[in-house]
Structure 1
Amino acid sequence: MLLHGTSASAREASGTLRLFLGTSSQSEFAGKGEGIFLASFHNGRLGIPRLLTKASSPSFLAAPQAGHPLFAVLGGDGGQSQAASYVVSQGTDVATTTLTPIATASSSGGGGCHVSVSADGTCVLVSNYGGGSVASFRADPTGKLTQANAVQFPPAEHGPVKDRQQGSHAHSALISPDGDFVLVNDLGLDRIHIFGLDHATSKLTPHKPDHWASEPGAGPRHLVFHPNGRWIYCICELNSTVVQLQWNATHGVLTTKSVVNTLPAGVDPAKARGCELVFSKDMRFLYAANRRASESFAVFAVDATTGALTPIQHKANPGLEARHIAVDPSGKWFLVANQFSGDVTVFALDNATGKIGDRVSTIQVSGASCLLFA
């Protein structure tokens, strides 16, 4: 399973956490990010962000367990995207934390938008939105990366939404809960591609069936795995739905179980954009973020027996263009990175009901695009 969550080293003895912030500098999306930032997080309050290292549009971050390198996808305007690795300084003092660049490697495609890493830190995956491809890398314990093993998706195929689905747009790639497969969300082709994973080389291998198909024009963007290893939830950007999928780990097959809308009543799905998903700490609730026509969050209760989703709340997002959401390790706080308004905002969570409460704190971070407790 690939991680972009929280390691034990995130927490100081005082209860303060380290929150790493990815930023976007893509001019197409009003990005003005300078690099990777760090902010302290304590009891819902964010400290003043500090630039740890300058980088070209490190829009997504990932890290396995404590003691391993931190990985980023580097993009920006034009050219090839890259996977990058950094060593995080020992200790957990936010004020003295440093991030040292170790290696970069071309992802063999443009428009890199997502990075993920296996739990043992040996397999790194980068999704190239503009290039319509996914790249896998082998990483050693120091963070050094092999040359990319890239898979290009069919360039002549496309979806029905003309301005967004002109061809393949890989938006994220994750290792399945069992560790034997890689699932790649392709917004442009309305698919989740399915590959086998060679554990020795981190290369992606052909698999049959080779994909799951969404509704035409849905645009699968990101997904999350339930810890039981059987349920997968996929947020679709172009129609703002969440699809519950059944995962057959024996045969590597995805099956649709249900589809739910994430938008408040009256919002035109064609004008909104589904963004991201995250579970509550106890896995009883699932949170979804939307943007554009509806800057909002949707909250769903997760049935413990079937995994079915029941909507329980829509909450307005005061920021613009949610790019990423997270729940802190304590499970008490919900965070959003808003790219267009350039901020990170924290809300209180009601652990009994799962509902998102009042805004607690906000910091300004130009081009904010990713949240990582590590």
Structure 2
Amino acid sequence: MTSRRQFLFSFPAYALSAQYFAPRFHRKKPVPPPPTRVFIGTDTARGVSKGIYQADFNSRTGQLTVPVLAVDTARPSYLALSPLRNGRRSLYAVNAVPDPSATVTTFDLDQRTGILTRKSRVTSAGAGPAYVSVDSTGNCAFVANYVGGTIASYRIEPDGTLSKPVSTFNYREPRFGKHGPVPKRQDGPHPHSVVVSPDDRFLIVNDLGNDALSVFLIDTATGRLTPSDPLLTSVRAGSGPRHIAFHPNGRWVYLINELDSTIDHLLWTATHSLKHPQAFLVHTNATVKTIAAGFPADKNTAAEVMISPDGNFLYASNRGEDTLVVFSIQDDGSLKEIQRIGCGGRTPRHFTFDPTFDWILCGNQDSASITVFRRDQGNGKLAGPTQTIPVDSPLFTLFA
């Protein structure tokens, strides 16, 4: 039996022998992540950009290549991806033209080459589509038509294309509420986003025109929507609900309001009943401003909201103040501002995390650029912009 003293005296010799033989057992150095493909939807109505552009982003260095045209298509203001099937995915783009002929286009995405091939085009069931989403099963897709005041659901066919609209709802119906008090922006209903709940059972619609959120039950087999009971959650008059972000806990929902530049903290509740499923949102009366105290509210519109995957930080963008704002999420779900940083351009309509969550790409619509920011995952703060890349009128960025 080896005594403690004998072990301690023999340890240096053991350590030396381990050091001598260690090179045989050295692990291979980790391979840097390859460049990640980025698709950029642009505003073709301005006469410069032509459709969806493609660039490569290196998550190790934070470098974005200069975007090149991937495919021409009319005003692809919002993009969504289907889940991977047999090595291929579909990319969906709303064609946000402000008339009833607006469409949703399906592209086949070759995962190896990144080539987009147009496969089909279907009606968006309303003018000016602003948002498209897909459930995690890849069975259903949803569109919000901002100008037309409607939403639509679709079944995703085996080849990735969209069916004709399965369900459509006209938000001019009285059950969806009445328009808000801002005449220039709330002259009628304006559904701005259609977000699928984390369990794929419900759809939440933000209506900027009617200052309300509505909830629908999703039939994932058919794509059919059924209004939930209660249907509406009203928010402050004139706030203009735009987008929401679910916290990773599945219980907290953060609503960014475009017109009064605020973020509201809501609680999400859903029953587990298979026979009579219900879901609704409750306002916690916790609201924060996205703009600085001295900035004129009428000179800004809030745009995007996202939450880090660890649930500790929330990010928002301001068009007018032209900033990205970082909030820490407290134990009770309330928000505390920790940073306000210039976006490096004008009109940051959309931003997104890269797959490592070490970087944020921010599309600056009115300065024809995408700016790159490094993100500290420990404290949530941003540094940059570390790079500015030219691209005309970026509306949306999607990693694929």
TM over 0.5: yes
SS at match of 1:207: strand
Match 2:300 to one of 272, 275, 294 = 272
| TM superposition score normalised by structure 1 | 0.91
1:24 aligns with 2:43: yes
Judge which range, 150-159 or 318-327, deviates more.
150-159
Distance in 1 separating the partners of 2:124 and 2:43:
17
In structure 1, give the amino acid aligned to 2:281.
L
Contact 1:107 1:150 in 2 (8 A): no
- Runs of 4+ off more than 4 Å: none
Question: Which AA in structure 2 matches 1:16?
Answer: P
* Structure 2 match to 1:230: 251
The equivalent of 2:51 in structure 1 is 35
Question: Counterpart amino acid of 2:120?
Answer: A
Question: Counterpart of 1:270 in 2: which secondary structure?
Answer: helix
Task: Report the alpha carbon displacement of residue 269 of structure 1 after superposing the two structures with TM.
Answer: 1.9
Select 2:91's aligned residue among 70, 84, 109: 70
Matched, 1:319 2:337: no
- Partner of 2:359 in structure 1? 333
SS of residue in 1 equivalent to 2:298: helix
Alignment CA distance shift 1:289-1:194 (3 Å):
same
Residue aligned with 1:168, SS: coil
Q: Which residue does 1:291 correspond to in 2?
A: 319
SS in 2 for 1:264: coil
Q: Which residue of 2 aligns with 1:371?
A: 397
Between Structure 1 and Structure 2, how many residues are aligned?
354
Q: Deviations over 1:121-173 (max 9, x none)?
A: 22111110000011111112322211112111126731100100000001000
Contact 2:131 2:144 survives alignment (8 Å): yes
Name structure 2 gaps, 5 residues minimum.
1-30, 272-277
Query: What is the TM-score when the length of structure 2 is the normalising length?
Result: 0.85
Alignment of 1:14-163 (within 5 A): 14-26=33-45, 30=46, 32-42=48-58, 43-66=61-84, 67-91=88-112, 96-148=113-165, 149-154=167-172, 157-163=178-184
The answer as to whether partners of 2:89 and 2:110 remain within 8 angstroms in 1 is no
In 1: Cα distance, 2:32 partner to 2:168 partner: 42
Name the residue aligned to 2:27. none
What is the CA-CA distance between 1:197 and the residue it aligns to?
1.0
Question: What percent of counterpart residues are identical?
Answer: 38
| Contact 1:88–1:100 (CA under 8 A) maintained in structure 2 | yes
> Hey, what's the Cα distance between the residues in 2 that align with 1:13 and 1:249?
42
Cα deviation, residue 255, structure 1 = 0.6
Q: Which amino acid counterpart does residue 268 of structure 1 have in structure 2?
A: P
8 Å contact 1:20–1:371 — kept in the other structure?
yes
Higher relative contact order (CA 8 A, sep 6+): 1
Deviations 1:244-286 (A, max 9, x none): 1100011311011211111112012232100001122422111
SS of 1:265's equivalent in the other structure is: coil
For 1:212-249, what per-residue CA distance to the aligned partner results, in whole angstroms no more than 9, with x for missing partners? 11100000000111121111111000011011110001
Matched to 2:54, the amino acid is L
CA distance in 2, matches of 1:194, 1:268: 33
Unaligned runs of 5+ in 1: 1-11
Question: Which moved further from structure 2: 198-207 or 188-197?
Answer: 198-207
In structure 2, relative to structure 1, the CA distance for the partners of 1:363 and 1:87 (3 Å cut) is same
| Partner residue in 1 for 2:193 | 172
In structure 2, how many angstroms separate the alpha carbons of the residues matched to 1:145 and 1:191? 28
